[in-house]
Amino acid sequence: MNSLLFALITVFGWGTWLAPSQKVTFPNQQIKTLYVVAANLGIATAVALWQGSVWHLTPATFWWTFLGGMIWAVGGLSAFTATNKLGMAKAFGVWAPLNIIVSLIWGAILFDEFVNLSNETIVLLVAAVVMILVGVPLIIFAKGADNDAQKPGALRLGLAGAVGAGILWGSYFIPIKYAGVSPWAGAFPSALGMACGGVLLALLSRQSWKLASFGDAMRAGLTGVLWSVGNYGMLLLVDAIGAGKGFTISQTAVVVSALISIYWLHEPPPKTRAAGLTFIGCILTTLGGILLGNLK
C-alpha cells in the first residue's frame, strides 16, 4: 500500500510540475530555471533539517553530489527551452524515454550492468527500443496549434532542448552514484548544486530576475515545489521497491503531463489528430521506457 502511495505522489508531482508556469512570461528560460531550483532548495533545506542524514556526508561526497545538481540545472534549462518551443506533451515525451536510455547506457559502461543478457531479455530489449522508435516520431511530427512550434528553427531548438534534457537528466545521477551516498543524504547538496547552477545561468543571461507579477512568481515557485514533491516521492518509492522499478514507474508521469498539456493547456488542442498522435506516442515511449528499466 505504501509503495502505491509513493508512486502516486511521484507521478502526480512529476506529471504536473511544468504546468503552473507554462503560461508565465519569463525574460528567458534561465530565469525560469532560477525560480524552480530556488523553490526546490527551500523544500530540500526543510527536509534536510528534519531528516538529518545530510550531516553524515564527507566533503568529497558533498561536492560530488553538488556537481550532480549543477548538471541537473543545465538539464532544466534545456527542458524549459524544449517546453517553450514544442509544448509540454511533446517535450516531455521526448526526454522521458531518453532519461531511461541514457541512464541504462551509463549503467552498462560505468557499472557493468546489462552484461550476459538472456534471449528473453534481448527480445524485451528489442521490443522496448521499437516502441520508443515508433513513439518519439509520433510525438515530434504531430502538428499542434502553436504556429511558432511549427517553424523549422523553433522545432530544431525545441528538439535540441528535449534531447539535452534527456541526456543531462539521464546523467546527473552519475556523480551522486560515484559518491556512494544515499538519495536522502544527497538530496540537499544536489538541490544546492541545482540552485547554484540556476543562479550562474541567470547571471550569464544578463536579464532581470523580476517577473511581471507576484502571481507569476508564485506559479514559477510552485513548479519547483511540485518537482521537489515528485523527487521525494521517487526517493520513497525507490526505498520501497528498488531503484530500477522505482525510476521507471516515475517516468509514467509523461502520461499525466500529456493529458494536462492537451486538455488544459491545449498544446496541442484536444480532439485533434495532433492530440491523438501525441498521446499515443507518449504511451508507447513510456511503455518502452518501463520495459527498458525492468530488464535484468
Say how many domains are in the chain.
1
Contact 116, 187 (CB under 8 A): no
Work out the pLDDT band at 147, boundaries 50, 70, 90.
very low
**Predicted local distance difference test score (pLDDT) of residue 6:** 86
Q: Supply the pLDDT for residue 72.
A: 92
Position 37 scores a pLDDT of 94
pLDDT digits (tens, 9 = 90+) for 39-67: 999 999 998 888 776 777 888 889 999 99
Q: How far apart are CA 262 and CA 135, in angstroms?
A: 17
Q: Confidence band (pLDDT; 50, 70, 90) for 262?
A: confident
245 lies in which domain range?
A: 2-293
Residues contacting residue 57 through CB under 8 Å, at least 6 positions apart: 65, 181, 185, 186, 189
The model's pLDDT over 213-247, given as tens digits with 9 standing for 90+, comes to: 999 999 999 999 999 998 888 878 777 776 656 66
What span, in angstroms and rounded, lies between the C-alpha atoms of 287 and 34?
32
Q: Does the pLDDT at position 165 exceed 60? A: yes
Q: What's the pLDDT at 237?
A: 79
pTM value is 0.80
Instruction: Report how far residue 45's alpha carbon sits from residue 51's, in angstroms, rounded to the nearest whole number.
Output: 10
